Amino acid sequence: MDTSVDQQDIPSVSDDPAQDGAAPAGETSRGVREVLVVAHPRRPFVRDSAQRVLDQLTAAGIRPRVLGDEAGQLDLSCAAVVDADAGAAAGVELVLVLGGDGSLLRGADLARSADAPLLGVNLGHIGFLAEAESEDIDDTVAAVIARDYTVEERMTLDVTIRKGQELLGRNWALNEMALEKGQPGKLLDVVVEIEGRPLSRWSCDGAVCATPTGSTAYAFSAGGPVVWPSVEALLVVPLSAHALFARPLVVGPDVMVAFEVLGKEKAVLSCDGRRPSDVLPGSRVEVTRGAHPVRLARVRPNPFTDRLVAKFELPVEGWRGRSRPDR
């Protein structure tokens, strides 16, 4: 499985332009600001949007970076092409993602490795992680150019696979870790551990451990609660478990959640729907609060409630709000 990048191996970007006499974040020693633009420019609409963003950044004196596997569809006369690896965003001011949640999660990998803020424009479907919609793309780029945005930190997960005393792999997630059955028609047999103690044994399709950010993703589809991003907690949600006690759980942010795989069936572990890895019987998956958060850039600090209403098209007709002022 992929090994998550050690933060200390990546030069961090200072939020204070004056710190130690350094250039502002994302600005080279020659005074050129840089932004990594991540997109999948295979659809004409996405390609045209990405090209417009590149042109706007360039016109403002900002040098865009583009991933090598996305560069073939774009005019790169004013952009730098970089490899799609952990160093792609090193030293940039911002990672700007154009696409849906899948693209945002790919961008989160790159942004977290470089401790750079991540800002998404939704060109997909729901796009819960995106800060803006497609019709707001010009205003969003204008905010980036003016540095008119704030940055908030989102919890992540650190995921470790062990078998006995042997460390088999490490991973990380912004949304969730999913442990799922490896064979169709077969149930996965796991023991769930919370706070170092066994909680229950589930015969199930799998289990999800999610952050509050991921509570509206896979965990939500599996029946878990929506948790506001400002809450610090871990969610544990069983997938179609055959057990007397198989309810979604919300536990403290500093608690270790572990799953021990029993029986004869292997499991498949994925983080944010990516980086799959086999987990063999007798192995143990440990999930803890991530040591390194993902930094999300915000250009519209609207309440999370508004985002829920907009994304899920919730009925709020008839709401009047407070009918009288505070006394």
CA 173 to CA 251: how far, in whole Å?
Answer: 17
Active site residue 101: yes
What is the token pair recorded at 146?
A: 């003016």
Beta strands 33-39 and 62-67, pairing class:
parallel
Q: Which is the catalytic residue, given 101, 109, 158, 189?
A: 101
Cα–Cα nearest to 36, from 104, 92, 100:
92
- Burial (CB < 10 A; 0-12, 13-18, 19+), residue 19, is exposed
**Residues in contact with 44: Cβ distance below 8 Å, sequence separation at least 6, in sequence order:** none
**By the 8 A CB rule, do 189 and 263 touch?**
yes
What is the token pair recorded at 302?
A: 């609207």
3-state secondary structure of 12: coil
**By the 8 A CB rule, do 79 and 51 touch?**
no
**How remote is the C-alpha of 92 from its chain's centroid?**
18
Q: Which residues belong to the active site? A: 101
